[in-house]
Amino acid sequence: MRKTEFWMGLSGFMGFTFFLIANFSDFFLGLNVLAGCIQLLLNAFVLVSWFKGYREKHGFWKFVAAVGVAVPVFMGGITLARVILPAVFN
């Protein structure tokens, strides 16, 4: 496994994990807001690592990497709308 593929997998796993914690957990007060903030920071790392993979890949794997670049943008928007903004305005 090459270094880029390792970082793509690790960043995707961490970003998705924090997305799930931020949007679907409520067992500790404020945990979802903290996880949402961490997830937004991780999304920057996901974008960088997957965009690097996008530049290196060819064919079908380039398409997979392009989807990997787009998904964190949607996950970040969902987290902003469901977790961060309601916490700020309450």
Tell me the pTM.
Answer: 0.82
Domain ranges of the chain: 3-89
Q: Which residue has the tokens 């309601």?
A: 86
pLDDT surpassing 60 at residue 1:
no
Instruction: Name the band, by pLDDT with cuts 50, 70 and 90, for residue 55.
Output: very high
pLDDT digits (tens, 9 = 90+) for 20-34: 888 887 776 778 888
Tell me the HSE value of 14 on the side-chain side, using a 13 A CA sphere. Answer: 17
Instruction: Name the band, by pLDDT with cuts 50, 70 and 90, for residue 78.
Output: very high
Q: Which of 69, 9, 82, 7 is nearest to 43 (CA)?
A: 69
Gap between the Cα atoms of 86 and 80, Å rounded: 8
